[in-house]
A and B are shown apart, each in its own frame.
Chain A
């Protein structure tokens, strides 16, 4: 898995370049016919790649369309000024006119309507009145070093996905290991050599380090892959900026997130009778970790919704939520503090519970105990 993920990304880049290579010739020249029943639409017949050709009657235009001389045509009816209706005729089966066609017709109509009434430059401005350039200022009024935008978004989002994946892989791995040792009855030999606490600590640390190595391999291969990808995505990746506290928070949340899920996995591994059953149970806990990924686009467009605050503080979703939010907005310090505190407390709590049930249930091979039974043994154990 460590190597497979970068390889898959490599493959995807190759495929996307192949597809975009095939798809690229679509920027071909178009010829659109028009019938001017209102009158006064003679100028501006060249709109970018699109050429507009005038026909006297709809029948002429239809004939040209059927012969393939033009791609499509439209009719400007005599009551156009009052209704705004343009009738378009095409041979293609499509939901709506393509944006290129729409904007060509739009600009052609606009330019002709305004011709002679306002200066050329004003016509150009009316066609494209807004070219928004945003600059983020700090509270002192200076230009902020970190400007936001899509470049900022990509690394946190990608990292959020990787974080969720590696947390799930590592905890599943831990669960499988425990399940196997339980099924093979090895657990008894292990416990006669080491204590339950040592066994638990060893597993969590060992698999945690393996998980970190995996994340490190991904992190190192990411810039290389992005460079490869940038040839097809264009200069996009050069705009990538990392939020300033990103690396620190990413490491902190990876470690905390991993610890939380590994202790949960350990206790599930202890109570479930085989690894398959354990994996069904752990699903209940991994789904909250994935929720921020599902809502990624919502986080992007509504970054200030209070729901995200809840997800930031709820320990199971916190790691992935914080990482993805970092790319979109600034997370207030109190939320980070609260989130980390809740995570740490949850980890300690689950760890204490796990140590109590670990020893008892590791040795029960038969049926999985009910929740009530586990709770009872927590009180008495």
Chain B
């Protein structure tokens, strides 16, 4: 079943088209990356999915139906601009926001304890929100977004402002959610997190889809036909190369059109070169992003 189905959605604010004929879908259990430069329309797209704003045209189906109040209880949402009631305690905040999702007080408290323990936030349980650091507050908000055991969790820039320890913590939690069969949507412009976590991506720019599909496929599509090599000894002249770029600790060999990486490997092995690493280079998502968005800018 598809968790999210967005069909030809258009949204404009004051004559400016922010989302333009956007369509995509997210399958159950899938981790989906929504990427794009600032102002591309990511947050607007998410808000339409969450029924916070209505699209001008097109439709959105969540968990197979048009979003209703009852469906909202099955969604978790961590908005990009976030905050909690400053004067309220951590536990009270979690329990109150869980109650809006239809979770009763007792189970909310139980689940909150469990999640606070899991994230190592138990020492903060009795504190007020205003006493927390930004990163800790963000983890508490993440707990709020998953406490009601949602089927779909949408996280807008979840890693922004987190230190490396909390980033790892959050990643671990997201992998757990994925293993539980939840659908996750991550919206971010931190490409390395997307590469690490997502199965499929949608890249948007100026409100339009510019890249959509399986992450591995996309990367192979943008493959530059080169290999990365770490070796010991003298490389010498290798046939079939157009260029040899030396990086710190490795070299990048660009192949001509008639040579495959397999042939290069055979040639190197036959020369008795000790190979520590041989990798078909796929460009990092970051580079693809720059290439696609840059092209679009022109």
Contact = CB atoms under 8 A, between A and B. Distances in A.
Given A363-B53, A373-B14, A192 B75 contact: yes
Interface string B39-83: 000000001001111000000000000000100110101010111
Interface in A32-69: none
Contact of A180 (B52, B69, B85): B85
A127 interface: no
B84 A186 contact: yes
A194 B53 contact: no
A359 B50 CA distance: 13
Chief secondary structure at chain A's binding surface: helix
Contact of A185 (B75, B83, B101): B83
A360 B72 CA distance: 19
B228 interface: no
A181 B83 CA distance: 8
B86 interface: yes
A244 to B, nearest CB: 45
Chain B contact residues: over half helix, strand or loop, or mixed?
A: loop
Given A193-B72, A193-B97, A194-B72, A363 B82 contact: no
Contacts, number: 57
A192 B52 contact: yes
Nearest to B83: A184
Given A186-B83, A189-B79, A192-B77, A363 B52 contact: yes
B144 interface: yes
Contact of A363 (B47, B75, B100): B47
Contacts of A376: 14
Nearest to A359: B53
Q: Give the interface size bracket for A toward B.
A: 20 to 34
A190 B100 CA distance: 8
How many chain B residues sit at the interface, stated as a range, is: 20 to 34
Contacts of A192: 50-52, 72, 75, 77, 79
Contacts of B52: 188, 191-192, 359, 363
Contacts of B75: 192
Interface string A73-102: 000000000000000000000000000000
B129 to A, nearest CB: 9
Contact of B86 (A184, A191, A198, A363): A184
B242 to A, nearest CB: 51
Given A180-B86, A183-B83, A193-B100, 15 more contacts: A186-B85, A188-B52, A188-B79, A188-B81, A189-B79, A190-B100, A192-B50, A192-B51, A192-B75, A194-B69, A194-B100, A195-B69, A359-B52, A359-B53, A363-B47
16 contacts: A180-B85, A185-B81, A185-B82, A186-B83, A186-B85, A188-B47, A188-B52, A188-B77, A188-B79, A189-B82, A189-B97, A189-B144, A192-B75, A193-B72, A194-B69, A195-B69
